[in-house]
Amino acid sequence: MNLDIQWDKCETFVSNGETFIRYAVSDQDGVTFEVSMHDPTIQAMYPREHWLPVYCAPTNTKIDRIDGRLVVLCGLGQPNNPNGNLMLMRATAQTKYSAFRKAKIIAGILATLAGLGISPDENMYDAIRRN
């Protein structure tokens, strides 16, 4: 991930000798940012219809507003990969928030997607702008 974030909480797990984020949250300046790379955690957060389309297709992404939050769900690799297949990035801004922090998080999300070889289409950019 291409984010320089100070996490308030960060739980990790190790799979095949690599460390991944089970769940991390940073809540500062009116903007909450959450990340998970742990399939069971992500699957417990959202109903099947949200994560299944990206879970079943290699390098697939969904960017949408769900429950008032900007949600980025990525399916990477193959389903049931022991290292995981899903990645979640979720951002929420309160009424009074730091525009700089929100812009920094969105730029980090876009840089992370670019690093994964994912180019958002116009519908995805519209979802980002609406949030």
Kindly report, residue by residue over 23-82, the tens digit of the pLDDT: 999 999 999 999 999 889 999 999 888 888 887 765 588 888 888 889 999 888 766 666
Count of domains observed in the chain: 1
Check if the beta carbon of residue 76 is closer than 8 Å to that of residue 60.
no
Asked if residue 11 belongs to a domain, the reply is no
Render pLDDT for 99-130 as a digit per residue (tens, 0 to 9).
999 999 999 998 888 888 888 777 777 777 77
Check if the beta carbon of residue 127 is closer than 8 Å to that of residue 121.
no
Separation CA 130–CA 76 (nearest Å): 25
Separation CA 87–CA 3 (nearest Å): 14
Asked if residue 10 belongs to a domain, the reply is no
Asked if residue 27 belongs to a domain, the reply is yes
Asked if residue 4 belongs to a domain, the reply is no
Asked if residue 15 belongs to a domain, the reply is no
pLDDT of residue 9: 97
Asked if residue 85 belongs to a domain, the reply is yes
Asked if residue 123 belongs to a domain, the reply is yes
Domain range enclosing 32:
21-130
pLDDT of residue 2: 53
Q: Phi/psi at 26 (nearest 5 deg)?
A: -130, 120
